[in-house]
Structure 1
Amino acid sequence: MAKRPYDMPSMTSLACFESAARHQSFKLAAAELNVTPAAVSHQIKGLERDLGRQLFRRHHRGVELSESGAYLFIAVQRGFEGISDSVSQLRIRAERTDVVVHASTAVSALWLTPRLATFWKHHPETIVSQHVSDEPVATSNCDLSIEYGPLPDDVPDSIRPLFNGQILALGSPAFKEQNRIETLDDLAHVPLIHLTAEDRDWTKWSDWFEALNTDYEEGRGFWVNNYVVALGAAQDDMGAVLGWTELLGDRMATGKLVPLVPEGIATPKDFYVRIHPDAPPSANRLADWLTQPLTMRQSAFG
């Protein structure tokens, strides 16, 4: 017979002991557990025999914990409290319809938030909250996360690819005209906006020029640690910025940012949705919706 992994007496005896210790009464414990006082007394006597210790001092007016009983009561109460907290969390997660999504500042502002507005119109019963941070995702803080990185060859069900696209050199129309940018060589000699955010493996200007076999020496430029700020600076004619086409489709469509040269590179990594353990069913619904082609999402609303 396989040995049990825990050196534990019966859970029934522990439940009777915990209730009797908390109430300092076998009678009140029996009422709480919906059994007879004799049944409670029988379970505790069995527990005392098992442990070889007296857990209660019996008096004609009631009972009180012995030193051994007080020691065990603290341990049992902590264990029951931990189990109770976990059960409560599981019940809340099973019943709730809200979803917490983690995304970087850039992904939230440029891609996710506009799409959530449309999702809410079609699924008003699902409350979506965003956890916006440029720090690495903490799985305990969210149900879904929008991430950027290499996809494994065998993609698990918990990961849904979103998009990749191209990385272009973008700037304002005025910046392009003022600096007479036509070629990669022209671009290499104008102010460039650099992203210095930590924990983000974004493609840098040096990576981009190298992929296009173009010499580049870092000169005049503008450094920021937030991609949305970098885009704002580019729209204000301060310099050229690297742009992920799938993130910046709206700004490019309105002409706020334009390609400065025709060349670009394929994004070396992918944007994807990760579904975290214990996420509610509504998280899968949102993940499925986000990964649909834009035309399918629009058709859902006629």
Structure 2
Amino acid sequence: MASTELNVTPAAVSHRIKALENELGQPLFNRQYRGVELTEAGALLFVSLQRGFETISGTVQRIRSRHDRSGVSIAATTAMSGLWLTPRLAAFWKEHPGVAISQLIQDDRKPQDVDLSIHYGDPEAEDDETRVLFSDRILALGTEQFAETWGITRLADLSDVPLIHTQSGVNPYTEWSEWFATLDRPAPRGPGFHLNNYLISLQAAEDHIGAVLGWEGLLGGYLDSGRLLQLVPDSMPSPHPFYLRIHARASANARLFADWLAEH
């Protein structure tokens, strides 16, 4: 009821309506036994007020949006944020300390209402402007213990070992079947472990559960520290790059950040 929404008594609402009708010199409602309905004058006033409130709401939203334009919002998967994006923020802030960055983790849907988003795939398929971040080799990775347990030294040794498969709703990661086909090998026959989060896939590989595919540029820290190692010398050129999508709402600061990421 109107009185509840306005936090006043029903009597107060009736008094205000009556005062308005007296001011206008005509009724705004036809009062009936089972309720009320707008008169022609009431309907005209309702439409005008509705349009006015919509205009006010839109103006307030534009003012808020303009106020937030100094900041930059960027969406990425958990893996991309943790492995690649977050480590670069400190360097960006040293050069541009006045630009605030908001990271949104989005693993299961298309990013919306952000300035920028990071994807793995074909940037030419996007309607928006894009920046390629990197494209490199895809390696078969696992722990030293896993390699020793299964006796892995060459490509053929991977055909029957447990493999970890990552299936994400946002980034359709390159799969093992494609990796083997590119290297002219038949599809693997070993047991598979299917996960929908790449960081969990990496953790499973660290726990010696199976081999996982990894992008050399994305997983440099894992390789340098020895947490995972390249199981065989063979590798596949990445069919797609990781790229930055610049959404239509992107501000000047968002474009500054996009250019900086593409350079670094």
TM-score normalised over the length of structure 2:
0.80
Indicate conservation of the 8 Å contact 2:110/2:170, yes or no: no
Looking at structure 1, the residues matched to 116 and 161 of structure 2 have their Cα atoms a distance apart, in angstroms, of 40
Higher relative contact order (CA 8 A, sep 6+): 2
Indicate conservation of the 8 Å contact 1:93/1:280, yes or no: no
2:151 aligned with 1:151, yes or no?
A: no
2:199 aligned with 1:228, yes or no?
A: yes
Aligned AA (2:189): E
Indicate conservation of the 8 Å contact 2:76/2:106, yes or no: yes
Looking at structure 2, the residues matched to 241 and 234 of structure 1 have their Cα atoms a distance apart, in angstroms, of 6
User: Following TM superposition, by how much is the alpha carbon of 1:282 offset from its aligned partner in structure 2, in angstroms?
Assistant: 1.6
1:79-111 residue CA offsets vs partner (Å, 9 max, x unmatched): 222222222222222232222111011111111
Looking at structure 2, the residues matched to 291 and 201 of structure 1 have their Cα atoms a distance apart, in angstroms, of 22
2:112 to 118, 126, 139: 139
Looking at structure 1, the residues matched to 221 and 263 of structure 2 have their Cα atoms a distance apart, in angstroms, of 18
Indicate conservation of the 8 Å contact 1:191/1:238, yes or no: yes
1:99 to 51, 72, 76: 72
Q: How does 1:69-148 map to 2 (within 5 A)?
A: 69-96=41-68, 97-140=70-113, 142-148=114-120
SS of alignment partner, residue 188 of structure 1:
helix
Question: What is the match of residue 238 of structure 1?
Answer: 209
When residues 180 and 258 of structure 1 are mapped into structure 2, their CA distance, relative to the original with a 3 A threshold, is same
2:242 aligned with 1:271, yes or no?
A: yes
2:147 aligned with 1:176, yes or no?
A: yes
Indicate conservation of the 8 Å contact 2:176/2:213, yes or no: yes
Aligned AA (1:77): L
SS of alignment partner, residue 87 of structure 2:
helix
Looking at structure 2, the residues matched to 276 and 81 of structure 1 have their Cα atoms a distance apart, in angstroms, of 29
Percentage of pairs with the same residue: 39
Looking at structure 2, the residues matched to 86 and 186 of structure 1 have their Cα atoms a distance apart, in angstroms, of 62
SS of alignment partner, residue 263 of structure 2:
coil
Looking at structure 2, the residues matched to 116 and 88 of structure 1 have their Cα atoms a distance apart, in angstroms, of 31
Looking at structure 1, the residues matched to 205 and 163 of structure 2 have their Cα atoms a distance apart, in angstroms, of 9
User: Following TM superposition, by how much is the alpha carbon of 1:266 offset from its aligned partner in structure 2, in angstroms?
Assistant: 1.2
SS of alignment partner, residue 223 of structure 1:
strand
CA RMSD of aligned residues (A): 2.5
User: Following TM superposition, by how much is the alpha carbon of 1:247 offset from its aligned partner in structure 2, in angstroms?
Assistant: 1.2
1:163 to 116, 134, 140: 134
Looking at structure 2, the residues matched to 251 and 126 of structure 1 have their Cα atoms a distance apart, in angstroms, of 30
User: Following TM superposition, by how much is the alpha carbon of 1:232 offset from its aligned partner in structure 2, in angstroms?
Assistant: 0.8
User: Following TM superposition, by how much is the alpha carbon of 1:246 offset from its aligned partner in structure 2, in angstroms?
Assistant: 1.8
When residues 68 and 204 of structure 1 are mapped into structure 2, their CA distance, relative to the original with a 3 A threshold, is same
Greater than 6 Å deviation, 4+ residue runs: none
User: Following TM superposition, by how much is the alpha carbon of 1:65 offset from its aligned partner in structure 2, in angstroms?
Assistant: 5.7
Q: How does 1:6-85 map to 2 (within 5 A)?
A: 63=25, 66=28, 67-85=39-57
Looking at structure 1, the residues matched to 25 and 261 of structure 2 have their Cα atoms a distance apart, in angstroms, of 61
User: Following TM superposition, by how much is the alpha carbon of 1:68 offset from its aligned partner in structure 2, in angstroms?
Assistant: 2.1
When residues 171 and 74 of structure 1 are mapped into structure 2, their CA distance, relative to the original with a 3 A threshold, is same
When residues 209 and 127 of structure 1 are mapped into structure 2, their CA distance, relative to the original with a 3 A threshold, is same
Larger radius of gyration: 1
Structure 2: stretches of 5+ with no match in the other structure: 1-15, 29-38
1:207 to 178, 190, 195: 178
- Aligned positions, number: 237
When residues 89 and 264 of structure 1 are mapped into structure 2, their CA distance, relative to the original with a 3 A threshold, is same
